[in-house]
Amino acid sequence: MTNPFDSDGADPARKAFLVLVNTIGQHSLWPAHLQTPAGWPVALGPSRRAECMDFISRRPSPHHLTTALPAAA
């Protein structure tokens, strides 16, 4: 099985990515040829991987995630 996030494949459709965002503002890179998961609407795409990564890097990260997670038992 090949890695769906590998953009070096010969198929041009597999070189396109989406940026997804969940309800708390987390962004994720997602291969455009795969069905998007429930609860993650498309914020950008389809675009080249570099464009998607740039889009994600310019978005604020939900800072409350690091303090809202429960401590490991």
pLDDT at 56 over 60: yes
Half-sphere exposure of 10 (CA within 13 A, CB side): 0
Where residue 39 falls (left for φ over 0; alpha for ψ -120 to 50; beta otherwise) is left
pLDDT at 4 over 70: no
User: Taking the model in full, what pTM does it have?
Assistant: 0.71
pLDDT at 7 over 60: no
